[in-house]
Amino acid sequence: MPGLLIVNLGSPQSPAPEHVRTFLRDFLSDPDVVDFPRALWLPILHGIVLRVRPAKSGALYEKVWTEEGSPLVVYTRRQRDLLAQALPGWDVRYAMTYTRPSIAAQLDAFADAGTTDIRVLPLFPHWAPSSTGSIVKQIRQWEESRVHDAVRPRLRVIGAWPTQPDFIGWHAERLAEALAGAEGAVVVLSYHGVPNREVHRPQGYRAECEATTDAIARALREHGVDCPVYSTFQSKFGPGAWLQPATIDTMSELPGRGVRSVVLATPGFVADCIETLDELDVLNREAFERAGGEQFYRVPPINDHPVFARIVADLIRNS
């Protein structure tokens, strides 16, 4: 039986500061996420960030937490369940880059079950060292740890999918539905930002995001919708330049250009999380309305919509 491992970033075990601290420690210690010199960054991380941020971030997680737990984890589990139903004959599991279940633990489980063919799908449509790159590194480390095994599974990582047809079509349909009730609205497609430093390969990442934006804009025109469609970048962390324009700056500027209605979507996120439920729904909405905007509507990510299974089935066929 072949195996499929879907991987997302992860979330604290709970909003409690001690759990948030553990998550932030593991996440922000990854040199693919924060590429500052270790001798400079680690004292700042442990001496300042991990003392101040856990309580503040924990309060934000508390606002979006559900009875089932972290929205990101809840939807990832549901996505796993969707795929298990849609892919009979496959052993489908999920892992998180920085929390449990870990990538290594799930690969161990596959190997112990005798699985010889494993596909790994990073749940990031656009490739970046800080997301898919970190997943690939963990896979390589696991392979090195099993180098003396008599039988090792064949591992294949499914690459970026910025223009997968069902992925594009689903976003265009949801946006067209939202635009039908928002006269004169513009579309903003918000992607997770990355630092504008070569180590993060920002131009390649931007090109993939722009490919998604262009494909969605074309699909919208096929639906009879022709309106401005903008690419923006969110979730800046720390000093230094990141990809521009920033989503929150765009929200503050649009009303000054005469825009009163905005429909926002997040094609870089396949599940709701703190970045969509708080950063966008609260902070960016407030920025737009404070500047004079009147209608702010966010199209949720794919989450557990059945189209997710079609997207993944197509990616597997073409991997």
Q: Do 20 and 107 meet the contact criterion of CB atoms below 8 Å apart?
A: no
CA atoms within 13 Å, Cβ hemisphere of 315: 28
Question: Is 192 part of any known ligand binding site?
Answer: yes
* Residue 126, annotated as binding a ligand: no
Contacts of 156 (CB under 8 A, 6+ apart): 117, 118, 119, 120, 319
Residue type, 239: P
**Contact criterion met (CB below 8 Å) for 178 and 299:** yes
Non-local (6+) Cβ contacts of 45 within 8 A are 25, 28, 29, 34
The answer to whether 78 and 70 have CB atoms below 8 angstroms apart is no
Burial class (CB within 10 angstroms; exposed 0-12, middle 13-18, buried 19+) of 68: exposed
Segments in 146-201 forming alpha helices (H): 165-179
First CA to last CA distance, the chain: 17
Report the binding-site residues for Fe(2+): 192, 275
Report the binding-site residues: 192, 275
